[in-house]
Structures are given as C-alpha cells and as structure tokens.
Structure 1
Amino acid sequence: MNKLDTSYDETLRVHTLRELNILDTAPEDRFDRLTRLAKRMFNVPIALVSLIDSDRQWFKSSIGLPVSQTARSVSFCGHAILQNEAFVVPDASLDPRFATNPLVLGEPHIRFYAGQPLKLGNGIVLGTLCIIDSVPRSFSDEDREALRDLAKIVENELIAIHMAVEDELTGLPNRRGFLHQAQKTISLCYRLGKPAALIFFDLTRFKQINDQYGHDEGDRALKTFGRLLDNLTRESDTSARLAGDEFVLLMNDASAEAAKECVARLEKGVRDYNEHSGKPYDIRFNEGIVELDLQTDHSVQLLLKLADAMMYQQKRKRMD
C-alpha cells in the first residue's frame, strides 16, 4: 500500500475534529438517514459517514459494515480527504494503491469505493460520506453530483454541531464545548494519575472598553485576548470563552506551577500587544488557578467554581 500524504495542516484538521466532541458518540438518526438513503440510491451494500482521526477512521454512521472503526493506514477515506471532489476507485483489486489492502484481500472485500470529502465552513476536511461495493463498477458524473448533494447535507449537520460548541466571536470552544471536552480530560487524568491545572481568566475593566470605545472595539479586545490565549495552548490543552469577558484554560498533565508559568507567558504576550497595538486602552486580566486533586473526585463545574473564587481573591488584592 502507498503511504498516505498528510502534508496539509494535519494538526489543525485533527484539532478541529476533536473539538466537535463527536468522536465515539452514539449513533444519530440524522446521520443514519443519510447513509440509508445513499445505500438505496446507489444500490450498494455499505454506506458510511467516516471521520478521520489521527490514526483511525471512525464511523459516525455505518450501514452494512459491522465495525465502528478501522485503522487509518488501511482506509480509502484517508486518501479521499486529500481531494476537492469525490474520490472514486472503480476496482480496488486493479489499483496499485489498494490491491494489497487487507480490506480488499479480506472482509469486506472492497472493490468499488466512492467518497465525497466532508468540509466545515472554514474548508477543513473532517472525513467523507462514502459508498462501498464488493464488485467493480463505474461512477458517472450524475452519480458524482448525487453523492456531492448528499454529502452537503451531512456537512450541514456537522456545521450545526460545530456552531453549537464554538464561540462565534473568538472561534474558541464555548461553555458547552469546554464542559464536554474538559470532563473527558479530567476523567483521563484521574484514570492515569496525571496532574491537571485549570486557569480562570477575567478581563479587567472590560465594561469600560465597551462604554468608552463601543461594542465593536470590545469585540476586538475579546478576539485579541482569545487569540493570545489560544497561541499558548498545547494540543492536549483546552482553552475556551465561557461567557462575556470570562475565559478558561485546562492544562493536561500540568501542575499549578506550570499554570503560573503559562500565565506569565500570557502576561508578556498581552504587554507586547498593548505596547504595539496603538489602541487607546490596555487589555488586562485577572486569573485564578486550581490544581486537580487526584485524591478527590472533582467535576469540571466545581473546578471552575474554585478557580473563579481564586480569581476574585486575586482581583480584590490588586484593588487594595
């Protein structure tokens, strides 16, 4: 088999997919309806909504295939996400890229494959809507158009999920998206005995920016702070805008000391921005840090409450 090309921004693609919080979720009829329709329309035994993770393809909807995932290294969809249009293999047994693929040599004995890339509004490809047959077949321009139309409906469902967990202004996860992802991270930390630290941020005098310079300028300040915060976020961390001028960062496998170092880097980034922005105001923030107690079962909501309280303590000290 030929090695898959991942020369595009794979880190961003996988990060975007995982922020959807859709991987390993239960089947949903809104996706199953579309794969059932694709199966009937094209008279194929298998139709899938396949999402391509870093090392696997996971099926949000699987009609005719009795597994929920396969290795990405043997996936046809891993090739399809590199295309702008449908990726079609008329006979996999005659295609040097797939002739020795275990999914061709063994079950489900793939011969025909057609996969339409699934994109978010920002153009990032998350996976495919694909159809599979165990016999070779052709695929007309009309067939391609029909598959593209069905894939567009799947994309709309993915975009709806994306918008439900993303803050529209900053592009960071919103409160709902953060709570979902952070609970997974904390559960993993408990299971592996790894530390974690949560930092709660509150912008200082943000209301004055809105009142004196207008809400458009306030929005720019929020987007700037969100960008500066996100630039410090490792792939394993989760940053978010909770509401208004409140932000949060959950650092996986990190102590309170590591969180303080992160805050120091953010302070420097904010100072540099203030010095060179030319804005008539400065962006400033207060923060509260809480380290995960591995001996006590804490929910994300409780950690947020504790970090919020720590932030207010610091805020009062700075006002004294």
Structure 2
Amino acid sequence: MARVFGKSSAEAVQREKGRLAALEQLDLFNGPRDSGFDRIVRLIQQIFDVEIGLVSFIDGHRQWYQACSGLSADEVPLEDTFCRYVAADEQPMIVQDAMKDPRFVAHPAVTGPEHIRFYAGVPLKTKAGITIGTVCAIDRAPRSFGRRDLCVLEELAGVAMDRIELMQTASTDSLTEALTRRAFKREAEQLIAAALRHRHDLACILLDVDRFKLVNDTHGHAAGDEVLKAVAATCRANLRASDLFGRLGGEEFAILLPHIGAEDAMAAAEKLRAEVCARPICGDFGTLAVTASFGVSALSIVGRDVDTLLAQADAAMYRAKGSGRNRCVSWSSMQAANGMGARRRVLKAGSVIFNDRRSTVDCTVKSLGVDGAGITVTNTAGIPSEFRLAIKAEGFETACSVISGDRQNLEVAFR
C-alpha cells in the first residue's frame, strides 16, 4: 500500500492527490537553483544561529531541497525526513532535543554522521492553504525555540511562497538566458496550435547534462553553473531563430522545432550532441569534458500537446542515459520496439510492489499513458525488472516491465 505521510485513509489519499495537483500546477520540482531561496536559507542560519537552513518541496516519495545550506544532500526519502510530520499535520513542529523525542531518538539522521539534535519546521503553504513543502531551521546541538522565533520562521516561509509566486511570472532563466519552464510551455502551446492548424511538422528535443550531480559534488555549484551556461550557449548557437529553447529543470533543457519532422529532429539532436561533446569547459575548476543525453519526439495523431511531447521526449532521453549516455534516442524507435502509446506528464504518488507483495518502494509517477509510465524513486537498486505499479489515489494497479532507467528513473511498459 502506498503511504500518504504514514496514513492510509481515503481522506488522506484524496488530500495527497490535491497536494500533488497543486505542486504540478506550480511546476516546481527539479527546477533550477534560485538565489532568492538561497538568501532565505542563509537568513535562517543567521537569525537563529543554526547550522542548517532549508526550503523544501515534497512529492510522492521524497523531500527535495529547493535550497539548503549546511547539508550535502539534494533530497531525502520521505520516510527518512522529520518534515513528513509537518506535512502530515500541516502544522509547525519543534524538536528541541531529538535524543529525548521517541519519534527520532533512533533516527539515522540523529544517530548517524549528520548528528541532528534540534529541528524547527513550518509548512510551506499556497494561498489556498495547501502544504507543498517546508521551511526549516536545524542544528546539531539541542536548543530552545520560542514563540517569537516560530513567528519569524513562519514569516520566512511566507517570503518563500512570495518568491514561488514571483517565479511563476518570470519568462527568462537568469543563469542560462533560456526560457523558464512555464514560459517555454506557454509559447510551445502556441506553436503546437499553429502546427496543427496549418498541418505542418513540429518536433521536440529534450536534453539532460550527463553526470551533472558529480560536477557539483566534485567541483562545486559555481562549476556546475558554468557548465549549464556553456551548454545553453552551444545550443543557442546551433538553433534557428524560430526554434524555442527553454530550461525545464536543473540540468534539463527542451527545444521545440517548428516545421521539422521526426527524422530531421534526430539529425538536429545528433548535431547538438556532437557540439556539446566537442566543447570542453574551462575555468578555475580546470577543464571539464561534458556530454548530454537527448530524447526526441514529434507531433503525431496521439502527440498533440506540449505535455505529451515532453513526456515522450523525456522517456526517450532516459533510454539514452540507460544505454550509455552521450547519445540520441527517438520516442518513435521506443514506440516501435515496445508498442507504446502516448504519454502525458503528471505528478502522482505511487508504489512499486514486488517480492510477492512483501516489498514496497514509494515512487512518484512523472508520466503516464494507457500502456506505460515513467516513475522516479530514491534508488532503483534492488527493484526487479518486473513488478506491480499502484497509484492509490486513482484506484490503479497493474503489472509492469522495465524498459529502461537509471539510478532514480524507470520507464515501464504495462503488461
């Protein structure tokens, strides 16, 4: 059974469905780092004199750090985070000494190398009152946290929500000068409508920088920023003025090509792949050889909207990563090999069930079709090639076979 912050009631399941729908509408997950959130977590550290400040979002299986100062991780499984209690109750939670709290005394974040002792977290809520994440002050020593402190932390959560709303209006990514995800999708819808109206071709390319997390972990975020700027500049230099170029996530970019069919789009993707691969990136960090994996989809009878095109290009891109990276794969080739129909981007909580139903892994379903899905888990290690996928909020469960994947992502076909 899929867990909903530790609850299994129908009411909790429907609340979780609404919460994920709000997150999907805001289109926040895996988005680029943002200096506004970075300032908030630094303020948390300075105001409360704590080691760790955090602004996070929570999807179906994990807590993802939009901004974090003082921890090395980018995300943590939902079952391993203090913040799941804040999200479940939709109320602030203060733990003055985790070693004296029965919920956390044996928690790995408390007993392990992170040695967390103090936690103060408040819900990050939309104007409609839906909790989409948390804002936290965390320390490695016990401490008190008064009413005035809590009021200040709640005000900072309000500032974070104001920042989220401001981001919804931005059209250009400040780091790469590409369109933001929301602006890209808005303009893509117009181009797709024109293509359907005038019956001309249109294709989508999605690219993801290979092993980008390793760049950040090894050389720092400044080096990662230089990589992203260089990849974006290479793409723009090789695109037409009529092409649409956007940054969808941290290291993920999308391109829409009007008047281009599937075959020519694959050629364009291969050209971009070769150009990115041929341009080492130099800086104070040394010289980095960078590659990217590409997925291609095209307008068709079943692929007639931006979410479908992106979901299908995304599935092809993960096939490229699973096949060795630094290559291009088309959705049409996957479709021919596996007989798959259209996909659409979604955000739903799910469960991977295997080992005769004795083992369950929480997941987030990121794309869905009548005959397959794309899912994200904390770690794919240990998940067999065949399992059952359940989406409790939809009353859905079916047998699956893995088509492709990487450390955190799986593309599956329904059996």
Q: Is the structural similarity TM-score above 0.5?
A: yes
Structure 1 unpaired stretches of 5+: 166-172, 200-232, 237-250, 256-320
- Rounded to whole Å, the distance in 1 between the matches of 2:99 and 2:188 is 45
User: Counterpart of 1:124 in structure 2: which amino acid?
Assistant: I
Counterpart check, 1:188 vs 2:314 = yes
Q: Secondary structure at the match of 2:136?
A: strand
Structure 1 segment 152-231 matched on structure 2, within 5 A: 152-162=158-168, 175-176=185-186, 182=307, 184-190=310-316, 191=318, 193=334, 195-197=340-342
Q: How far did 1:83 drift?
A: 3.4
For residue 27 of structure 2, the aligned residue among 17, 21, 34 is 21
Structure 1 segment 4-83 matched on structure 2, within 5 A: 4-5=6-7, 7=9, 8=12, 9-83=15-89
Q: Judge conservation of contact 1:104–1:111 (CA < 8 Å) in 2.
A: yes
Q: Secondary structure at the match of 2:89?
A: coil
Q: Judge conservation of contact 2:55–2:66 (CA < 8 Å) in 1.
A: yes
Q: Secondary structure at the match of 1:81?
A: helix
Structure 1 segment 280-299 matched on structure 2, within 5 A: none
- Rounded to whole Å, the distance in 1 between the matches of 2:130 and 2:108 is 29
**Cα gap change, 1:80 to 1:71, in 2 (>3 Å):** same
Q: Judge conservation of contact 1:189–1:253 (CA < 8 Å) in 2.
A: no
Q: TM-score, normalised by structure 1?
A: 0.55
Q: Judge conservation of contact 1:115–1:131 (CA < 8 Å) in 2.
A: yes
Q: How far did 1:234 drift?
A: 7.6
- Rounded to whole Å, the distance in 2 between the matches of 1:138 and 1:43 is 12
Q: How far did 1:16 drift?
A: 2.1
Please list the CA deviations of residues 286-308 of structure 1 after superposition, one character each: whole Å capped at 9, or x if unmatched: xxxxxxxxxxxxxxxxxxxxxxx
Q: How far did 1:35 drift?
A: 0.6
Structure 2 unpaired stretches of 5+: 172-181, 190-247, 249-305, 320-333, 349-366, 372-415
Q: Judge conservation of contact 2:312–2:343 (CA < 8 Å) in 1.
A: no
**Cα gap change, 1:124 to 1:178, in 2 (>3 Å):** farther
- Rounded to whole Å, the distance in 1 between the matches of 2:160 and 2:32 is 16
Q: Judge conservation of contact 1:46–1:132 (CA < 8 Å) in 2.
A: yes
Q: How far did 1:50 drift?
A: 1.2
**Cα gap change, 1:104 to 1:198, in 2 (>3 Å):** closer
- Superposition CA RMSD, Å: 3.0
Residue in 1 that maps onto 2:239: none
Tell which structure's C-alpha radius of gyration is larger: 1
Identity percentage of aligned residues = 32
